[in-house]
Structure 1
């Protein structure tokens, strides 16, 4: 299967998880938008990021958020990150004959700590410390592998995620136009958007 358009990365550290993706929406040789959102907060301490077809990303984000809200109402407890990832895995596998055109990262914090899961379009699931998906994967992962440390601070993980995406944006035609970041830590959860100019200033020193 060919690499899906765009680039998204996830980094897990002791204090939390960072999910990030660039903002370009491209299909083959066509640039559809420069303001696509590929990172989604699903619950207070959980989110997902994806690469692929924009409509499929948005659909999967809506489906899994609805499923987890129902889970909370029915059980009276907040789902674990693994529960979110496994539920999404079942949804993807059910559509394996006509799969969603998306690769997904699920990350968050629960009572067991921080977690990051990678899912392919038909539901295979892997837990890891960091991951990169999409057409800029090789460029992004090379930066993360060189600098990642499990005990690094969440803010340093955020900077590393942006740096990895910046490397992909400079060389992958399907990646570009800024970065959306979702930071989930024990103390707070927040989303932030960086323009190309912002990123260039960060790494121009």
Structure 2
């Protein structure tokens, strides 16, 4: 009889430990569950501010343990009328928390009659992810928003990081994307120039990073809302690069002949 009572108490204690609001319970419970296979993450996402608002771009390759799971994944996700997010990490986790954040932002607008700011949305997402710190949850999002006060860019990660900045690139291909963005991004860019720069940065990353590739999605966010450009296959950028190099070679040859 005592054994049954003790077993019953332990079960109740176990269920109580998973109650909402317990910051250590999820870590202790979920962190002990072994995964059936190692999770490998790879992607290239980027976002930066310019005079036209915020531009967000990402490749479309979703990988799993060295295999291409989906060549047409969406990594830039609309969250609200004036807010999109680039996502990196586990695809299922990113999709779930995008829906949760979108629900909370919609409820906030219905209750208060106004939209929550980008910084407020980032703070809300960070607080919701905090109880799962130390588990296998993997979400890294760059929230891109704009209002009448101007554009805003905030990076949020499930490890507790929350940073505000003007330029972010996340994923295994981010070092290659930064090599293009650091020398090309400035406030005075036009929409076409910013789009071309983002496309080239993603292309350079996919050229070197095996976990990134296929197509590129580009979103622009300004005070009027977000707009999505037509998805473009990155092989078109490859052909444009070949034409640029051929044109440069012809120019060098002409200069040599003229001398």
TM-score bracket for the superposition, by shorter chain length: over 0.9
Q: What does residue 238 of structure 2 align with?
A: 200
Matching of residue 173 in structure 1 with residue 210 in structure 2: yes
Q: What does residue 44 of structure 1 align with?
A: 81
**Which structure is higher in RCO with an 8 Å CA cutoff and minimum separation 6?**
1
How many angstroms does 1:187 deviate by?
Answer: 4.8
Matching of residue 134 in structure 1 with residue 185 in structure 2: no
Backbone CA RMSD of aligned residues: 1.8
Matching of residue 14 in structure 1 with residue 51 in structure 2: yes
Q: What does residue 69 of structure 2 align with?
A: 32
Number of paired residues?
204
SS in 2 for 1:78: coil
Please list, as runs of the form range in 1=range in 2, the aligned pairs for 1:1-205 lying within 5 A after superposition.
4-187=41-224, 189-192=226-229, 193-203=231-241, 204-205=243-244
- CA distance in 2: counterparts of 1:3 and 1:30, whole angstroms: 10
SS in 2 for 1:166: helix
What is the TM-score with the length of structure 1 in the denominator? 0.92
CA contact (8 A) 1:4 1:102 kept: no
CA contact (8 A) 1:105 1:117 kept: yes
Comparing both structures, which one devotes a greater share of its residues to strand?
Answer: 1
CA contact (8 A) 1:88 1:123 kept: no
CA contact (8 A) 1:23 1:35 kept: yes
- CA distance in 1: counterparts of 2:158 and 2:133, whole angstroms: 8
SS in 2 for 1:143: helix
SS in 1 for 2:227: strand
How many angstroms does 1:186 deviate by?
Answer: 3.4
Q: Which runs of 5+ in 2 are unaligned?
A: 1-38, 245-259
How many angstroms does 1:156 deviate by?
Answer: 1.9
CA contact (8 A) 1:51 1:133 kept: yes
Mean alpha-carbon deviation: is it higher for 58-67 or for 98-107? Answer: 98-107
- CA distance in 1: counterparts of 2:160 and 2:169, whole angstroms: 16
Q: Which runs of 5+ in 1 are unaligned?
A: none
CA contact (8 A) 1:5 1:53 kept: no
How many angstroms does 1:6 deviate by?
Answer: 0.6
What is the TM-score with the length of structure 2 in the denominator? 0.74
